[in-house]
């Protein structure tokens, strides 16, 4: 319980929150860039009798926890602690569309859903915890800000951390960009993917990525014809190749066809940034073994629906 705030009053009615999937890194923007995508998890929460009533349908329904360690529930209680205290009982219903363990920000979506729902349940939640504080809290839970920034703010986000915590800038991507995602059947944990990265990289590779990341901001927002060169990466994708060779092969095949393609987050999903007219043709380049989603950029991020 917070020592600074009195215990808040909670709404009696249910609160529904919708949170988008997100793709991080976008090639060169390692742990910085995020793109919100129109694939959503929806969480409904309500103050209930003492205890926890939790239901989950959709992605991850067979594998996620059904207790207080469920990531949405745990994130809610982290947020309640900042708000002044937790209600004695909760009903939480999760309807998941974001694949788990595929590099589309499912854990970040769960964290953001939990903290946004907790704040919305509190009658004066926005006065007690503003959006900047939500980002700092989400980053503390997740460990890095790229996905949670996009899930919170929508659009194209640049996120970084300072001694006071995480911050973000939100930009509008060009309307000429149509994301296509190729989701494989296999999962890859972020922890395993990070474990494949070297502690140091050649100076030339770091310099090349810095230049591409700067160019990516221009390419994604105003000059999409530069996306193929702007999405080049030397810091993480090839190092992670042994854990997802099929994904890296698809990235190379798409790029050979002139399609700006990259690993989504830690993988193994592949993200292609094409045009609306070319999206169908790009989707066919993946071949068999992929779930293909034709998406748009989610412009609003986490939203309280009721």
15-171+299-304 matches 178-294 in fold: no
CA angle, 215 then 218 then 221, to 5°: 140
pLDDT of the residue at 2: 47
Q: Give Cα separations from 69 to 73, 94, 117 (angstroms).
A: 7, 14, 17
CA dist., res. 302 & res. 96, Å (int): 14
pLDDT of the residue at 189: 86
Give residue-wise pLDDT tens across range 148-170. 999 999 999 999 999 999 999 99
**Which residues does the chain have with pLDDT short of 70?**
1-4
Annotate 18-30 with DSSP letters as a single string. EEEEEEEETTTEE
Burial class (CB in 10 A: 0-12, 13-18, 19+), 48: middle
Thinking of the domain 178-294, which architecture would CATH place it in? Answer: 2-Layer Sandwich (3.30)
* pTM for the model: 0.95
pLDDT of the residue at 4: 65
pLDDT of the residue at 61: 95
Write a three-state SS string for 159-186: EEEECCEEEEEEECCCCCCEEEEEECCC
Q: Where are the domains of the chain?
A: 15-171+299-304, 178-294
pLDDT of the residue at 70: 97
| Virtual torsion, Cα 112, 283, 238, 192, nearest 10 deg | 40
pLDDT of the residue at 37: 98
Instruction: Tell me the three state secondary structure of residue 77.
Output: helix
pLDDT of the residue at 1: 43
pLDDT of the residue at 302: 98
pLDDT of the residue at 161: 97
Thinking of the domain 15-171+299-304, which architecture would CATH place it in? Answer: 2-Layer Sandwich (3.30)
Whether the Cβ atoms of residue 151 and residue 302 lie closer than 8 Å to each other:
yes
């Amino acid at each position: 319980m917070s020592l600074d705030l009195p215990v808040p009053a909670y709404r009696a009615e249910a609160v529904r929150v919708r949170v988008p999937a997100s793709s991080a890194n976008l090639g060169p923007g390692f742990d910085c860039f995020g793109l919100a995508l129109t694939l959503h998890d929806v969480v409904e929460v309500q103050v209930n009798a003492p205890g926890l009533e939790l239901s989950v349908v959709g992605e991850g329904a067979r594998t996620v926890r059904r207790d207080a360690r469920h990531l949405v529930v745990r994130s809610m209680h982290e947020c309640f602690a900042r708000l002044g205290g937790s209600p004695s009982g909760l009903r939480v219903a999760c309807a998941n569309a974001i694949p788990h363990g595929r590099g589309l920000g499912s854990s970040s979506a769960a964290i953001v859903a939990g903290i946004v729902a907790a704040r919305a349940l509190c009658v004066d939640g926005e006065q007690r915890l503003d959006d900047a504080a939500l980002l700092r809290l989400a980053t503390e839970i997740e460990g890095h800000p790229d996905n949670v920034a996009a899930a919170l703010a929508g659009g194209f986000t640049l996120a970084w951390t300072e001694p006071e915590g995480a911050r973000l800038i939100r930009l509008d991507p060009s309307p000429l960009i149509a994301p296509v995602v190729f989701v494989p059947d296999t999962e890859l944990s972020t922890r395993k993917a990070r474990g494949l990265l070297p502690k140091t990289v050649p100076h030339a590779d770091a310099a090349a990525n810095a230049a591409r990341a700067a160019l990516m901001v221009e390419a994604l927002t105003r000059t999409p014809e530069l996306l193929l060169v702007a999405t080049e990466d030397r810091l993480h994708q090839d190092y992670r190749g042994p854990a997802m060779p099929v994904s890296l092969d698809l990235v190379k095949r798409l790029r050979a066809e002139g399609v700006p393609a990259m690993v989504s987050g830690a993988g193994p999903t592949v993200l292609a940034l094409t045009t609306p007219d070319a999206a169908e043709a790009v989707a066919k380049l993946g071949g068999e073994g992929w779930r293909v989603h034709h998406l748009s950029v989610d412009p609003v991020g986490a939203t309280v629906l009721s």
